[in-house]
């Protein structure tokens, strides 16, 4: 087990903790959006010990909102979108992606973590360890977008993740750190936007 200054512990093959969406964004509202930011800069010592890890920095902006049923007899529930940014060994640019999480079912969005869909049809899993560590599993990697304006983001980078990037643990941080991921929103970000 390795502990870095961020307070994030590496757990190896430990079982994933559960994701309670209310803990991720601190409070859920029936209207508007709630936000949380998580990030991590991996230390040189960590990267030296894990030569197959390609991610050197990662951050995630969680946007939670209540979704009304889209048709009669369809579920309603809290859904969330995760805007992601990564920096990799040997690349100067920051690559981004978006994951859509939850299907409105309590078992998916409140207990046992959440299955998320990322660009390229890849699935990932998010979970919360305690109140301040987001555990993100991307077992098959994912395609990401090259930098640039949102409307011109057509350059897809095919799976830049390494074999040691299956599980990333990010620490809760100030929302200001994720404002660059809030493409369509007012800034500064607040924990809740009615």
**Residues in the chain, how many?**
194
**DSSP track, 140-181:** T---EEPSS-GGG---EEP----TT-SEEEEEEE-GGGGGGG
Q: What is the pLDDT of residues 17-43, one digit of tens each?
A: 444 555 666 666 667 788 889 999 999
CB 37 within 8 Å of CB 193: no
pLDDT, average across residues 48-63: 95
- Between CA 113 and CA 110 the distance in angstroms is 7
Q: What is the pLDDT of residues 73-124, one digit of tens each?
A: 776 676 778 899 999 999 999 999 888 876 545 444 444 567 777 766 677 7
Exposure string of 14-37, with b = 16+ CB inside 10 Å and e = fewer, is eebeebebebbbeebeeeebbbbb
- Inform me whether the pLDDT recorded for 13 exceeds 90: no
CB 183 within 8 Å of CB 66: no
- Predicted local distance difference test score (pLDDT) of residue 69: 73
pTM (2 decimals)?
0.78
CB 174 within 8 Å of CB 36: no
């Amino acid at each position: 087990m390795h502990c870095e200054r961020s307070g994030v512990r590496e757990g190896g093959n430990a079982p994933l903790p559960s994701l309670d969406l209310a803990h991720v964004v601190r409070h859920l509202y029936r209207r508007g959006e709630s936000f949380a930011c998580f990030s991590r800069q991996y230390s040189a010592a960590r990267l030296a010990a894990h030569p197959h890890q390609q991610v050197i920095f990662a951050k995630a902006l969680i946007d939670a909102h209540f979704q009304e049923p889209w048709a009669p007899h369809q579920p309603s529930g809290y859904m969330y979108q995760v805007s992601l940014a990564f920096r990799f060994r040997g690349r100067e640019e920051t690559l981004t992606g978006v994951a859509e999480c939850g299907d409105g079912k309590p078992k998916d969005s409140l207990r046992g973590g959440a299955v998320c869909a990322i660009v390229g049809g890849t699935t990932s899993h998010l979970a919360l360890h305690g109140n301040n560590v987001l555990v993100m599993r991307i077992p098959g990697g994912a395609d990401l977008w090259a930098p640039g304006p949102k409307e011109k983001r057509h350059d897809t980078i095919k799976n830049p993740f390494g074999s040691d990037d299956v599980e990333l643990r990010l620490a809760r941080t100030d929302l200001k750190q994720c404002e660059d991921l809030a493409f369509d929103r007012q800034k500064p970000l607040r924990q809740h936007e009615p």
